[in-house]
Amino acid sequence: MKYLKSSLTAAGLLLAGALSAQTAFHVKAGEVKGEVQPTMWGLFFEDINFGADGGIYAELIKNRSFEFYQPLMGWKIQRKEFNEGEILVQNRGNENPANPRYITVTAKDAKDKSLGMTNEGFRGMGIKKGNRYDFSVMYRQQEPGVKLRLELINAKGEKIGEGELIPNQSGADWKKQSISFVSNAEEPKAKFNIWFEGTGKIDLDMISLFPEDTWKKRPGGMRADMIQLLADMKPGFLRFPGGCIVEGRDLATRYQWKKTIGPIEERQMIVNRWNTEFVHRLTPDYFQTFGLGFFEYFQLAEDIGAEPLPILNCGMACQFNTAEVVPLNELDEYVQDALDLIEFANGDVNTKWGKVRSDMGHPKPFNMKMIGVGNENWGPQYIERLKIFTKALKDKYPEIKIVSSSGTDPNGDRFDYLNTELRRMNTDIIDEHYYRAPEWFLQNAARYDSYDRKGPKIFAGEYAAQSDRIASPNNKNNWKTAIAEAAFLTGLERNADVVVMASYAPLFAHADGWQWTPDLIWVNNLNAYGTPNYYVQKLFSTNKGTHVVPLLLNNDAVTGQNGYYASAVIDKKAGELVIKVVNTSDKAQNADFLIDGVKKLASSGKLIELHGENLEEVNSFENAVAVSPKQREIKVKGRKITAALKPSSLNVIRVKMM
Ligand code: AHR
């Protein structure tokens, strides 16, 4: 272990040492230790770092319905002459509490850009040449006669796309109207102008601009490049919507799923809890519009073949912030939300909530099998509330597995208390979180070897090796963190009979809008790339196999000897043996794998290698694949696989079993 530590802590080490002696590992391919659950490697999604608004939710207009604390945040009024009240923010709070604000535009012979508004997007708008953009607006005519001239402009102020919307002249009700136009240039930092022309008075709300090329081309949908990176991982589950966002800084700003479904203009926006969380990364323009709500998350999970895992508030606000709790005798509403969510996801179309789902376009149930109660909540207050939820949920839906929290840390008094209580309750699945130094991940590769095989299952729900320290803005997604995670993941895989799910956190970060590092996938307005950590997760997930088998060195699990961490599975469907071996040392090493329990192996197999030139290496927008998998063939002699392993590398070996 000491040896390993030294090779991983020497930052920037040159990793080109001489080849060390051959190590002989022993794989007992006929001795199944447990099933690898199809859910094993999955995704943790939270609207942090512009993950949803400004991220996967492809809306380009920021503050489209004027509900930010400052109603015109993100907008700039353009006018040649100042006339008081030409663009007036109205608040109809009593009539429409979910969407109180709109604007009234009064124009008098407006022309030649004399009156308009510019939206700055989420740190600009990413616009692609030749792509179609769909503009829509809700309006109510007061005095017909105003038309809207629309312009996309680049960072220099030049027009790169335009359209015109002439509001229907009839009726005084709210209505929605759309037009589309095509951009003639690519621009990462575009803005959007609306010029008002003519004479009249009109109310406007829900001013929206979406690209056509969303995921599955769904109107008002998600950014396809970001979702593709998720789909490529073939994730086993999708946990949503967080994270601390579930808890809220206070109970008033907790996540309430019922307010995130139905027509988007009826979804009540709230502040994003990451808006002011970190003084070093204040993001005052970060809100949750819920254009992306629970229906869309379930649909996303279905699209990418992942089991949905919604996490709900348990009646406690974030204990790092206000730590508000709902009195136990007022918890019913929260529990009912959980029961109703199961009906929303799985209920027949004739049930109340099943019908809501069906009316939103998904008559077929989502077949949800798990639900999380609370995120990172701790103390007896959590256990008291969890017990109430558990009773109600199990009484009505005994088949639904409950995921419960073991707090913020993987050890310490809070963890020990919760771990003891949760095991006493014989809860289904315990969610453990670890944001720790790379060395912790190495030292804990054997963490689950001694866990109770008959107790609750484990969800490694949030983890990421921290190159600096938790919540530091200086954390990097470098190879040092990624290889340490890879070593740790061999320990999760070896214990797949106990660990049934695992996900890195957080998932996304916008280069200009992040609050938290490190993150699995980085994006700007036009591009997205996976970090070295992403490729580690992806390699485990896309090579997950079906059953764990022992991989031993001198009869011991491989948890750091000679810098090695390793695990093995067989894939019964593919008829393959899959070995994962991490060489954390600074030396190239030759490894032999002697395979028992198979009649024969194919004479060659493949080795997929993920390797960093040095521990500080990162991926970037300029070089998105600096650290990315490379595949080569390897020869197999009889039942022996010999692999030359690069220094500091994760290697996945796949060989057909005959
Ligand atoms: O992943 C970022 C945050 O870390 C999550 O919201 C929270 O659950 C954890 O503390």
pLDDT of the residue at 197: 97
Q: Which residue has the tokens 């179309």?
A: 349
Together in a domain, 515 and 645: no
Together in a domain, 162 and 259: no
Give the neighbor-by-neighbor strand order of the sheet with 43-44: 43-44, 237-240, 307-312, 370-373, 401-405, 429-436, 457-465, 499-504
Residue 68 lies in a domain: no
CATH number at residue 553: 2.60.40.1180
With bands split at pLDDT 50, 70 and 90, how would you rate the model's confidence at 482? very high
Tell me, yes or no, if the pTM score tops 0.75.
yes
pLDDT of the residue at 10: 32
Checking if the pLDDT of 489 tops 90, the result is yes
Checking if the pLDDT of 558 tops 70, the result is yes
SS (H, E, C) 563-607: HEEEEEEEECCCCEEEEEEEECCCEEEEEEEEEECCCCECCEEEE
186 close to 129: Cβ distance less than 8 angstroms: yes
Together in a domain, 315 and 407: yes
Write out pLDDT tens, residues 596-640: 999 999 999 999 999 999 999 999 999 999 999 999 999 999 999
Write out pLDDT tens, residues 386-424: 999 999 999 999 999 999 999 999 999 999 999 999 999
pLDDT of the residue at 20: 56
426 close to 455: Cβ distance less than 8 angstroms: yes
DSSP string, 293-343: -HHHHHHHHHHTT-EEEEEE--SB--TTTT--B--GGG-HHHHHHHHHHHH
Together in a domain, 410 and 494: yes
Q: CA torsion 474→475→477→478, rounded to 10°? A: 80
Residue 70 lies in a domain: no
With bands split at pLDDT 50, 70 and 90, how would you rate the model's confidence at 17? very low
Quote the distance between the C-alpha of residue 485 and its chain's center.
Answer: 18
Whether 241 is in the pocket of ligand 1, judged by its Cβ within 6 Å, is no
Together in a domain, 282 and 428: yes
Write out pLDDT tens, residues 225-259: 999 999 999 999 999 999 999 999 999 999 999 99
Instruction: Report how many domains make up the chain.
Output: 3
Together in a domain, 313 and 448: yes
Of the residues 161, 185, 211, the one at which a domain ends? 211
To test ligand 1's pocket by mutation, which of 516, 517, 533 has the most ligand atoms within 8 angstroms of CB? 516
Give 419 Cα–ligand 1 centroid separation in angstroms.
19
Together in a domain, 324 and 357: yes
Together in a domain, 185 and 282: no
Instruction: Give the mean model confidence (pLDDT) for residues 573-601.
Output: 97
To test ligand 1's pocket by mutation, which of 44, 48, 316, 470 has the most ligand atoms within 8 angstroms of CB? 48
Please tell me whether residue 438 adopts helix, strand or coil conformation.
helix
d(CA 86, CA 65): 18
Residue 65 lies in a domain: no
Range of the domain at 160: 75-211
194 close to 208: Cβ distance less than 8 angstroms: no
Radius of gyration of the chain (CA): 27
Taking alpha carbons only, the member of 558, 595, 571, 572 closest to residue 28 is 595
Write out pLDDT tens, residues 77-119: 999 988 888 999 999 999 999 999 999 999 999 999 999 999 9
% of the chain exceeding 70 in pLDDT:
97
> Does 633 participate in catalysis according to the annotation?
no
Average model confidence (pLDDT) for the chain? Answer: 95
From the candidates 67, 151, 296, 376, give the one annotated as an active-site residue.
Answer: 376
Together in a domain, 48 and 91: no
Instruction: Give the mean model confidence (pLDDT) for residues 495-502.
Output: 98
pLDDT of the residue at 5: 40
d(CA 32, CA 241): 35
d(CA 59, CA 296): 14
Q: Where are the alpha helices (DSSP H) in 472-541?
A: 479-494, 532-541
pLDDT of the residue at 3: 33
Residue 47 lies in a domain: yes
